Amino acid sequence: MRSKVIDQENISWEIKNYLKNMINLLSAQEADKKVAFLVGNSPRTSSSTILTLMSYDTKNRTENIIKQIIVKTAFDLEKNHAISANIMIKYIKYFYEMMERLERSDLSQKEIDNHANKSLKSHLENVQNSLQRPNISHLKRFLKNNFNPKINSLLTEILNLAGPTGKISFHEENTEKIILESKSSYQFLLDPEPNLMIENNFEWKRQDVATLVIEGFIEKVSEIDCVLSKVVEKNIPLLIVCLGYSQEVISTIALNNRRGTFDVMIATPCKEDDAVNDLSDMTCIFGTPYHGYQTGTISTAFTEEDLDLTCEEIIVSPEKIHIKNSKTRKSVLKRLERLKSQIGNYELSVNQATGTNTSLMDDYLRRRIDCLTSHQVKISLPKINAQKKFGLIEQIDYGLRASKSIIKNGTINFKSKEKVVKDGEYIASSIYLGIKFGYELSKQFMSMKKAIIFDD
């Protein structure tokens, strides 16, 4: 095995040549020109930044090192911030060339660092000064401007069914058109009683489940005796969600579960400060009355008919609950619309992690919206040629990632300093993080003064 030492001049040439090639490929994609790759030994045209970066065949070991560093960061960014990798690569080139010019001057290293940091700060302030509050109209405009009407309509329907964090699965079937199938499954964090979970092998999964939600602590079994008696008569499983319960309550439930007298699970919301609102949201899904502080004791507020309002399926795991109940879909949608209308109506604060305008109240509302959104959507694709199917899945994936970023962080009408990227409307977080990580990687590349390369 032979080795050789690569000096800074050669490293710099390799970095700039690689970045030039990547930017040329990405610019071709932006201009809607077809860029072809071999995927699984089959030719594919693609607009994916990640696929472009991964498929590029490096010419030597130095270029491969550069590629691996960029691909790792790009992959992490693109998971949640669409097109951020594309923006990052352009800013790597911009900041790297700027730092090279500074190194060739008579400035000290401290002065070079100060100048570079000042430039980064100026670029990020330019982003922050142009930020807009997240707004559903911005999302609609972005989808309309970036996708054809057919894909736009498909993305809108998927988002309505699954939300930006929903689980999406693709299947090829004998259909003439694309079919969306939604399972009305809602998910909340939950703390079930550990002893009952152990007895059920850590999963309590039941169909046609009666529910009881209590905004309070159950001290004595006598408080819920009327409910337990009716459950025995009707021979149906029961889920109780409350703010807490005594040892007497759990002992009685566990004993009667083992005897087969009834089948009851009891749980509390997770320990987050705002989790108490999960009770009312779950009640909306259950379709049963909400027993709060204002409704009085269970013995007077409960009616036998409440147990007839059952959920199709409930799955309780050690940390979460999954609820399937299509009967309450309309009431859940109304609650969703009410929560969505409240986003952006609160005093804003600055999220230092991403530099985007958010508010604690908005984050809290989005968490509730996610829980009230169906999280499983099956997309059945007709049997079409491989390239067309590949392109369709790629567009849906890009659209959903972009939508998630816009819903959380909004869009930005961006005017680029030094014209690094074209002026226009972008996803706010993608611009911010593209600049930030472009600067970080350019600094990392500038620190590479020499390299030892081993050849086979």
What was the pLDDT predicted at 29? Answer: 72
pLDDT digits (tens, 9 = 90+) for 351-390: 433 344 445 666 777 778 778 876 677 788 887 777 788 8
Q: Choose between 169 and 69: higher pLDDT.
A: 69
pLDDT digits (tens, 9 = 90+) for 6-63: 777 888 898 999 999 888 888 877 766 556 666 566 666 777 788 888 888 888 888 8
CA angle centred on 293, ends 288 and 295, rounded to 5° = 55
Beta-strand (E) ranges in 288-383? Answer: 290-291, 311-316, 320-324, 349-351, 356-358, 376-381
Domain boundaries, the chain: 2-132+410-455, 136-184+335-405, 186-324
Q: Mutual orientation of helices 149-162 and 136-146 as an angle, nearest 10°?
A: 140
Average pLDDT value over all residues in the chain: 84
What was the pLDDT predicted at 91? Answer: 95
What was the pLDDT predicted at 354? Answer: 39
Cβ-based burial of 74 (10 A; exposed 0-12, middle 13-18, buried ≥19):
buried
What was the pLDDT predicted at 347? Answer: 38
Is the model's pLDDT at 169 over the cut of 80?
no
- The token pair at 346 is 């609160």
CATH level 2 (architecture), domain 186-324: 3-Layer(bba) Sandwich (3.50)
What was the pLDDT predicted at 350? Answer: 35
Looking at the domain covering 2-132+410-455, what would its CATH class be? mainly alpha
What was the pLDDT predicted at 295? Answer: 75
Q: Choose between 221 and 271: higher pLDDT.
A: 221
pLDDT digits (tens, 9 = 90+) for 380-424: 888 777 778 888 888 888 888 888 888 888 888 888 878 899 888
The answer to which of 92-96, 123-127, 353-357, 388-392 has the lowest mean pLDDT is 353-357
Provide DSSP, 244-282.
EE-HHHHHHHHHHHHHTS--EEEEEE-SSTTTHHHHHHH
What was the pLDDT predicted at 119? Answer: 93
| Spatial contact of 36 and 43, defined as CB atoms under 8 Å apart | yes
What was the pLDDT predicted at 28? Answer: 77
Type of residue found at 226: C
What was the pLDDT predicted at 336? Answer: 83
What was the pLDDT predicted at 55? Answer: 80
pTM exceeding the 0.85 threshold for the entire prediction? no
pLDDT digits (tens, 9 = 90+) for 426-439: 999 999 999 999 99
Q: Report residue 173's pLDDT band, with 50, 70 and 90 as the boundaries.
A: confident
What was the pLDDT predicted at 355? Answer: 41
**Whether the domain at 2-132+410-455 and the domain at 186-324 fall into the same CATH topology:** no
| Spatial contact of 123 and 90, defined as CB atoms under 8 Å apart | no
Percent of the chain at pLDDT above 70? 86
Nearest CA-CA partner of 409 in 430, 384, 429, 434: 429
Nearest CA-CA partner of 432 in 362, 361, 364, 357: 357
| Spatial contact of 316 and 267, defined as CB atoms under 8 Å apart | yes
pLDDT digits (tens, 9 = 90+) for 204-250: 999 999 999 998 899 999 999 999 999 999 999 999 999 999 999 99
Q: What 8-state DSSP symbol labels residue 222?
A: G
pLDDT digits (tens, 9 = 90+) for 67-91: 999 999 999 999 888 889 999 999 9
What was the pLDDT predicted at 1? Answer: 58
What was the pLDDT predicted at 229? Answer: 93
Rounded Cα gap, residues 174 and 172, in angstroms: 7
Q: Report residue 164's pLDDT band, with 50, 70 and 90 as the boundaries.
A: low
Is the model's pLDDT at 282 over the cut of 70?
yes
